[in-house]
Amino acid sequence: MRTYSELFAVTEFRNLFVANCAGIAAHTTSALALGSLTYAVTGSALLTALSMFGAPLASVLGSLTLLSAADSLPPRRALTLAALVGLAGAVLQAVPGLPLSVRFAVILLVAYVGSVTGGARWALINDILPADAYVLGRSTMNVSVGVMQIAGFGAGGLLLVWLSPYQVFLVAAALRALAVAVTWFGLRERPARAGARTSTTRTMRINRELWADPGRRSLYLNLWLPNGLVVGCEALFLPYAGDRAGFLFAAGAVGMLAGDVLVGRFLPATARQRCVLPLRLLLPVPYLVFLIRPELPVAMLLALVASVGFAVSLPLQERLIACSPPQNRGQVLGLQQNGMLAGQAVFAALAGTVADLLPTHRAVAVMAGLSLLTTLLFTRGLRRTAPVPVARNRPVPADVRSA
């Protein structure tokens, strides 16, 4: 399976894609509304960064407690539960006069539930598609993130011109409701991947087993740290560009989309693995130019080029799946996703702290320099992980028709 027509001929994948798009659009618009509200109330770069990027800190708790739910719950139920909690959270955010502390608690709760069930989404791609189609399917889901971020930040910025943040939250709630409906009615019921019950003990035991392997440990670190530090750069877009920050966010989303299409759709497996180091370097280097405080058009170009480097996660995830047990695949991918999101939140907070001490453009360059340093330090560890062999095709799902 190498084409988008073949991919979207799979009905369940198509529905999973639509639900993911609706959820990302809801998250993006509500994050921009909450960030604008927080900055207007507090004027703090740190709190603004936390309001937009801090929620995934809850994924640390999810990874240490009930992450095994990604394998021990039926996938459709797990994803519907997360979508319902997201819907409730968007409705609560729409209440005027809600204290910021309560708003932060709501986004943390939504993020926690998403963190313990999110791995089921990525593992489900392997169940829905042929064995050699994971990268195409995952890259297409990543493209949905880029497209919805472009649409969400762009539309969110326009909506905030005409509507209050509370009304924008209601738009996000409608999108969450769509995600709930498509997930429940559009996915087939499947049994849980693992027979054991969800428990903190089981979660921690599998986490220890995953972390004990040097190759997997290196892959996790390379997927978490350089990426998270660059997101720290993005967390400073609002303080850097003010009411024009949406253009920077959209430019970054375009770059991420372009990278996922190029790497996921057009590069064969061997070429993907050869591009690992160049893509890892591409991610932080353009942001070093922020040291000279570029004007908005140049800053947009730099954000676009840098974000192409996010596509390095695709070949690294291929290696991670190849060296992990199939029965724990939901937790394997959930831990990767949660660690990445938690790292992004931590480094967004760090970036906000640095920006409260230094001029914003210098803080962006500092975060980029740290990302480049970690990239160079962790390159050697990737030698423990062999490139992924070409997988044999397994039977194509019954609902796939020829393109």
Alpha-carbon distance 305 to 279, whole Å? 10
Output the tens digit of pLDDT for each of the chain's 403 residues.
Answer: 667 888 999 999 999 999 999 998 898 888 888 888 888 888 887 788 777 776 767 777 777 777 777 788 888 998 999 999 999 999 999 998 889 889 988 988 898 888 777 778 888 888 898 877 888 898 888 887 767 767 776 777 778 778 888 888 999 999 999 999 999 999 998 887 776 676 778 888 888 988 988 889 999 999 999 999 999 999 899 889 987 888 898 899 889 889 988 998 888 888 988 999 999 999 999 999 999 999 999 999 999 999 999 999 999 998 998 888 877 888 888 888 888 877 887 898 899 899 989 999 999 999 999 999 999 999 888 876 655 554 444 443 433 333 2
Contact call for residues 58 and 109 (beta carbons, < 8 A) = yes
Domains of the chain, with CATH numbers?
A: 9-188 (1.20.1250.20), 212-386 (1.20.1250.20)
Alpha-carbon distance 141 to 135, whole Å? 10
14 token code pair: 């198509």
Q: What is the pTM of this model?
A: 0.74
What type of residue is 367? M
165 token code pair: 């943040």
Contact call for residues 150 and 253 (beta carbons, < 8 A) = yes
267 DSSP 8-state letter: S
Alpha-carbon distance 337 to 317, whole Å? 10
pLDDT score, position 400: 37
Strand segments, DSSP code E, in 128-219 are none
pLDDT score, position 372: 97
